Amino acid sequence: MFAQPLIDSIDFARNSKQLRGELAINELARLNDLLADNQGSVAYELLGYSKDDSDFLRVNLEGVCHLRCQRCLGVIEHRFNLSSKLKLLTVAQLAELDEVDDDGVEEIEASSELDLMALVEDELLLGLPFAPKHNAGECDVVEAQNKHSTNPFAILAGLKK
């Protein structure tokens, strides 16, 4: 097993560094409970930059994983293409933050030892659907139930007579 890749986030952003790679889904342990299996991979790209005296990271994720449908419990092949813009703040700056700006930029703590795999896993966890479901007409169990079930109110109407 390889060592966890750690980066100095401020240095990474200020020097406009870039990092690309690919991770197997089975390397991301916190995803295990949310996935149908540990098959698939994540291609990541991390870009650092500075703008207006602030430091930023851009995280781009692309890949495929298998989710469990919440209707039929079948497997869904979920393709994702996620992009996040993260503003790096010191602990003091985070403490002074009293409201969340809705400008599409998330704030994270700047770190001299930012765990790249944890960052990729966090962004993927945030980007997965809360309750994944097959598209309409693709759920076998739901379609079978709809064909064979009768209206429960029709039964009540029969009892009323």
Question: CA-to-CA distance for 124 and 121, rounded, in angstroms?
Answer: 5
Main-chain phi, psi angles of 113, to 5 degrees = -135, 65
Q: Band of the pLDDT at 34, cuts 50, 70, 90?
A: confident
Statement: residue 42 has pLDDT above 70? yes
How confident is the model over 115-157, as pLDDT tens digits?
Answer: 999 999 999 999 999 888 888 877 866 444 555 556 666 666 6
Query: Parallel, antiparallel, or unpaired: how do β-strands 105-109 and 75-89 relate?
Result: parallel
Q: How far apart are CA 49 and CA 37, in angstroms?
A: 36
In this prediction the pTM is: 0.77
Question: What would the pLDDT profile of 80-95 be if each residue is shown by its tens digit?
Answer: 999 999 999 887 777 7
141 is written with which tokens?
């169990």
